[in-house]
Amino acid sequence: MEILLGVGIGELLFGLAEAQVQAKLGAADRSYTTELGCRRVQFDELMLELSFEPENENLLGWIEVHNPQATLFGHLLIEKSRQNVLTLLAKKLGNPSEYEDYGSFNTAFYEEQWLELHFEFGRLKSINFGVWYSEDDQPLWPNG
């Protein structure tokens, strides 16, 4: 599975409805609704969590990738060291716009790419990314 920032992962493109995702992947293993009203669905085998956002007509707008077989820029990054991941991404994207230390985990956020990296114990645990937005805050859905 290749992550394409602003586009999606593999055959899952931002802007799909939940029914379209289920037609591709089958039923989710778990689903819940956040306090902000986002419907989150998890696919255990693929190690993916998808978010369908009410402010965007309940379309797929955010993906969390925990799958160590997923690639970004052709590289396997899940479980790699924070230093190695950040060095690679600095070459591709520049430095993160925000780096947060939450005690038990850290995040690096690349605002222009709408990309967040979640590290625990010095290792990348998930790659979280979303649809990009226009200057007038409209989602830039990929053409699929």
The residues spanned by each domain of the chain are 2-130
What would the pLDDT profile of 62-120 be if each residue is shown by its tens digit? 999 999 999 999 999 999 999 999 999 999 998 888 989 998 999 999 999 999 999 99
DSSP calls for 105-131: -EEEEEGGGTEEEEEETTEEEEEEEEB
Angle at 20 between CA 14 and CA 21, to 5 degrees: 65
In which band, very low, low, confident or very high, does the pLDDT at 144 lie, cut at 50, 70 and 90? Answer: low
| CATH class of the domain comprising 2-130 | mainly beta
Residue 97 has a pLDDT of 83
Q: What is the C-alpha separation between 45 and 32, in angstroms, rounded?
A: 18
Mean pLDDT of 48-61: 95
pTM of the model: 0.94
